[in-house]
């Protein structure tokens, strides 16, 4: 026999080892494929969360703008209400001044009239 040949037992042992190695590689591939599938699912979920967060940020920004507009409107209304509330006080002051002016005019007129009556007698 030439030295280039191997025995049947050696060949069968080699075939068993190759089958075992092929099975191990196949199992490894299946495990890696499951892990990749799980990672893909996680990436999809993270993407969905990211999109939701972006939408929420836009909505919150819009709400902030709306709240600021409402605050400005409330400030304008408060200043208008203050002016309206001050209006009766202004009218009251004007009325008081008119009454005081009338009283003073009447008193001065009466004094001048009394002086004229005394002078004419």
pLDDT value of position 119? 84
Determine the Cα–Cα distance for residues 94 and 74; give it in Å rounded to an integer: 30
Pairwise CA distance, residues 118 & 17, whole Å: 148
* Residue 117, pLDDT score: 82
**CA pair distance 32, 26, nearest whole angstrom:** 10
Each residue of 91-120: pLDDT tens digit? 788 888 888 999 999 999 988 888 888 888
Element (DSSP H or E) covering residue 107: helix 8-120
- Per cent of the chain over pLDDT 70 is 98
Average pLDDT over residues 12-41: 97
Tens of pLDDT along 70-97? 999 999 898 888 888 878 777 788 888 8
pLDDT above 80 (res 2): no
Return d(Cα 92, Cα 100) in angstroms, integer. 12
Give DSSP secondary structure letters for 46-62. HHHHHHHHHHHHHHHHH
Q: Which residue has the tokens 């004094």?
A: 111
**pLDDT at position 3 over 80:** no
Residues 46-75: what's their mean pLDDT? 95
């Amino acid at each position: 026999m030439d030295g280039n040949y191997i025995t049947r037992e050696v060949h069968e042992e080699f075939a068993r080892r190759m089958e075992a190695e092929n099975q191990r590689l196949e199992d490894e591939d299946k495990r890696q494929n499951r892990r990749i599938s799980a990672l893909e699912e996680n990436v999809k979920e993270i993407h969905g969360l990211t999109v939701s967060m972006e939408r929420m940020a836009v909505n919150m920004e819009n709400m902030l703008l709306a709240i600021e507009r409402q605050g400005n409107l409330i400030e304008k209304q408060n200043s208008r209400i203050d002016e309206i509330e001050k209006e009766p006080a202004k009218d009251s002051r004007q009325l008081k001044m008119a009454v005081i002016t009338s009283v003073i005019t009447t008193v001065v007129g009466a004094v001048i009239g009394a002086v004229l009556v005394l002078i004419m007698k």
